Amino acid sequence: MKIVFFGTKPWEKDYLTLKIKDSGVEAGLEFIEGTLNKDNIPQSADCDIISVFVGSEINREVIDKFSNLKLIVTRSTGYDHIDLVACEDRGILVASVPSYGENTVAEHAFALLLCLSRKIYLGYEQIRENGSFNVDNLQGFDLKGKTLGVIGTGRIGKHAIKMANGFDMKVIAYDTYPNKELEKELCFTYHSFNEVLAESDVITIHVPYLKETHHLLNEESINKMKPGAYLINTSRGAVVETEALVKALESGHLGGAGLDVLEEEGVIKDELEFVLRGHPKEHDLKTILSNHVLIDLPNVIVTPHNAFNTKEAIERILDTTVEDITGFIKGKPVNLVKFKSE
């Protein structure tokens, strides 16, 4: 059994090698630092299992290069970077990491919110750039007593609610499948989507990226948000329509935004490639330019898809990745992604 890992760091290579050895399975391991996509396919593509992260793009063209491929393990909860239809057509299983960073991502969401509510970054920049300790332009607002709207009350949303309770915030939430036991346990209330938009001082998004959640926050829904409200997004960039968000921020309808994810962030991360080759048709140039406007707005905090990135969370990801691989090899696969036909 041959396994190829893409996008791993040296310490992750050592960690995975030791964990797989300790599991008792026999497998040949190969580690490639770069991501996997149609322009970066290894010469030797005879592996049985590949493991990738969200930066890889596993489309049909890539999948067809691996004639012996039986399993794709993504070291992430989301799997929208993998063509599931092509995998199903080839009989290739897909496994993910369904749980690793519930508290980790929720903590980052609150870090973004606190940066905005207390103007921490603006204060830091003012001191670093000008040596000024003037606080006239740095007045923030308390979280206590504010209403937090949580969109999605799964694992991460649950932790966000717990943290909001610690700040003595009022919490309301929307979920396609309300968890009434959780509602009672954590003392919040479910409302309709539009009610959450209208009543929340801060909205934090914790939904997966699906066809149904594409541009969930668009021009129409953003306009329904409470004037002066703040938006926090640590889920996926395309859940929020970038152009609509820019308009709402520039007009003053929204007070600010904390974003760990952006639409077309893959292009933004590799601007040299963008300049040299132009933008592929699937990338929306207007969205890319709007993202740059967002980055420059003083009431916006942007981080580079880093909410998951703590030592503890990464180790949990790697541990689950090993479980996915060894379970498959031993004939007891776990954490499999369901195909639409199932």
CATH of the domain at 283: 3.40.50.720
User: What SS3 string covers 154-208?
Assistant: CHHHHHHHHHHHHCCCEEEEECCCCCHHHHHHHCCEECCHHHHHHHCCEEEECCC
- Domain-located, residue 9: yes
Whether 214 and 108 map to the same domain: the answer is yes
Both 270 and 243 in one domain: the answer is yes
Q: What is the pTM of this model?
A: 0.83
pLDDT in tens, the chain (342 residues): 999 999 999 999 999 999 999 999 989 999 998 999 998 888 778 899 999 998 899 999 999 999 999 999 999 888 889 999 999 999 999 999 988 889 999 999 999 999 999 999 999 999 999 999 999 999 999 999 999 999 999 999 999 999 999 999 999 999 999 999 999 999 999 999 999 999 999 999 999 888 899 999 999 999 999 999 999 999 999 999 999 999 999 999 999 999 999 887 755 554 444 444 455 555 565 677 677 788 889 999 999 889 989 999 999 999 999 999 999 999 999 999 998 776
Whether 33 and 138 map to the same domain: the answer is no
Contact between 268 and 279 (Cβ < 8 Å): no
Domain encompassing residue 42? 2-100+310-329
Same domain, 234 and 90: no
Which residues have a Cβ under 8 Å from the Cβ of 277 and sit 6 or more positions away?
none
Please check whether residues 154 and 199 belong to one and the same domain: yes
Q: Are residues 72 and 185 in the same domain?
A: no
Distance separating alpha carbons of residues 309 and 322, to the nearest angstrom: 19
77 and 219 together in one domain: no
Which residues carry out catalysis? 236, 265, 305
